[in-house]
Amino acid sequence: MVNSDSGSRWRRALALAIFVSWLVALATPAWAESIALVTDVSGRVTGQGPVTILSEIAADTRVQLESGARLVVIYFRSGDEYTFTGPAQIQFRTTEPQVLSGAKPQKRASPLRKGGKDVTIKPVSVTQAAYVMRSGRPTARIKLLTLSGTKTLDASPEFRWQEIEPGAKYRFELTDDTGRSVYESDVTGSALKLPLPVRLREGVPYTWELSARLADGRRYVSAGDFSIVTPQLRAEADALRPAAGAPVSERVAFAAWLEQMELKDEARKYWRVLAAERPEDAKLKALAAE
């Protein structure tokens, strides 16, 4: 049995521990917050670890560029872009970078600031594609390559998937947000385009389900959700799209914007090209393969 004095001491110690934890949480410095994104890097650049394209930079982080290195960074809030060349040491303050040694950076307005409209970007994460299972029975998955958890700019999009085996036959069904069947068909191969009479509405959520049963009785099924963008978002994407031959940093920023607009298939087109240009970059490779 615990006497009242020791119990009281234990409660006071617990209360003190909770109070101290609360004070520590309040005093957590702003450096934990990501304030900028790396949109291009070449040569040896290091911070608390290696710095690569799409690395997030926290407030008060120090970054070292060796001779001949180059670093391009865009601030999340302002959208301002800074280009550094080595040798240099930079400390990234909350609103702008401070050069501790080396040449001053080249600064320009956001590459996404076109038509007088301010557009900012957010961090880009690599996530696993989600598969929606529509059957309560055990099934295997078909890998959907497009139109899964995304919006699309294409008014007549192509549905693509990875074949489970050569010559397999699939059942395709497309439904709208009310559950009404819009189109269904048996299909072979790894892609399908809707026939011309089938028109999809902008901004409406659609679900497509693909299923197959092999000769040995195994059943495969997966489903993906998507919607066609509104005219306003399509116009904004067209206005922000980089010109042919645009720098890597500009294309990375645009692809990151596509990601936050949920235009994942469109973004992946850029990630694939960028990953081919920078094959050593693991994050670009992962985004290209999603």
Q: Is residue 262 part of a domain?
A: yes
Query: Are the C-beta atoms of residues 237 and 258 closer than 8 Å to each other?
Result: yes
Q: Find the domain containing 42 and state its range.
A: 30-108
From first to last of its 290 residues, the chain has per-residue pLDDT tens of 445 455 555 455 444 443 334 333 333 343 358 899 999 999 999 988 889 999 999 999 999 999 999 999 999 988 899 999 999 999 999 999 999 999 999 998 887 876 555 566 777 765 544 444 444 444 578 999 999 999 999 999 999 999 999 999 999 999 999 999 999 999 999 999 999 899 999 999 999 999 999 988 889 999 999 999 999 999 999 999 999 899 999 999 999 999 999 999 999 999 999 999 999 999 999 999 86
pLDDT at 203: 93
My answer on whether 213 and 255 are in the same domain is no
My answer on whether 216 and 174 are in the same domain is yes
Q: Is residue 20 part of a domain?
A: no
Q: Is residue 216 part of a domain?
A: yes
Paired tokens of 33: 């917050």
> Cβ–Cβ contacts within 10 Å for residue 73, how many?
25
The reported pTM is 0.79
Q: Is residue 1 part of a domain?
A: no
| Count of the separate structural domains present in the chain | 3
Domain end among 85, 108, 131 = 108
Phi, psi of 255 (to 5 degrees): -65, -35
CB-facing half-sphere around the CA of 75: CA atoms within 13 A? 17
Q: Is residue 172 part of a domain?
A: yes
My answer on whether 85 and 37 are in the same domain is yes
CA-based R_g, the chain, Å: 25
d(CA 71, CA 52): 9
My answer on whether 192 and 212 are in the same domain is yes
pLDDT at 140: 73
